[in-house]
Structure 1
């Protein structure tokens, strides 16, 4: 029986000494002592799917799904089983509350439904109003406006006659002394029950 082959130093990474100073390497390794890992990714041995990226491993490689994709369970070697993650449906996005999440291939997009920015602020009468801000119109103290997610909404003041702070100018119905009187459209003149007047060619009467 011939003596076992001797190599100058041990063969590495599972390599076998087959002749004096000669190692046979395992797949994925090269070098005199099998000390060098073959980078299949950079050496052009592997072509992964466009939705995957090649990751070199000791003695091997792996086509790993790119960010925004996950494997559908088929675990194909070249990454063909990688499919898009719907970050919007799975709530894996970072869109702010005043933006809308739109899923795109390999990611998502936060879009602003109210314009170029997503602060939710408003511009009213050339004045900047913050999202959630409430104010009274300069030329009509009986109208209240609010800024809601970039939209301005105005309405007549809601009269609460139970409140001690009710504005009797805007809410004459809350004034017991005017219960039988009417307020002119210009809100400057009051009429007693039965009084009539003309406004825009129309006959008006306080009932």
Structure 2
């Protein structure tokens, strides 16, 4: 069966939740497919989401890293969602609040069974910090594919950019096909077609496309 082509430009905000318990209230049953966006608080998650969906105001951006305090869910269609997770590592906030964000992040990653892939965003000038590596290792151990997205690639000259990309690919090579590494620029659009291709693939696991096919047949 051919996969469903997702028009990411039609993405719309669905809900915000402070933790997994509230998320379950809004989205009972843990069904469909979700793709999570995770990264340090200065990695440019909101800008990347806005660029990929071609919607300037879909995800809130701020000059103050760490503004995203909630699990923000965006709907692609009735079966598919993008999830913007709280940023980690950098935010200048009280420790108690930071711990609350980390708890929400951990609960989502450990308990959300509909998770189809994780985009780990890293500033290309400062990739593979300890928390980034922990996130990637956790996902691979859970057999969840990862896209290591090196953001702000427009900040580097082409030769330096590719040297960094190749170095990151070499360091993550031990994870095999579970991890892909791509440069990305929200400003210039660098890497956008490749990223959308990967997201579209993750949005179409075989079990979901077969279920959609059966639903179509039942409705005829």
Structure 1 length normalisation: TM-score?
0.17
More helix by share: 2
- TM-score with structure 2 setting the length: 0.16
RCO higher in structure (CA 8 A, sep ≥6): 2
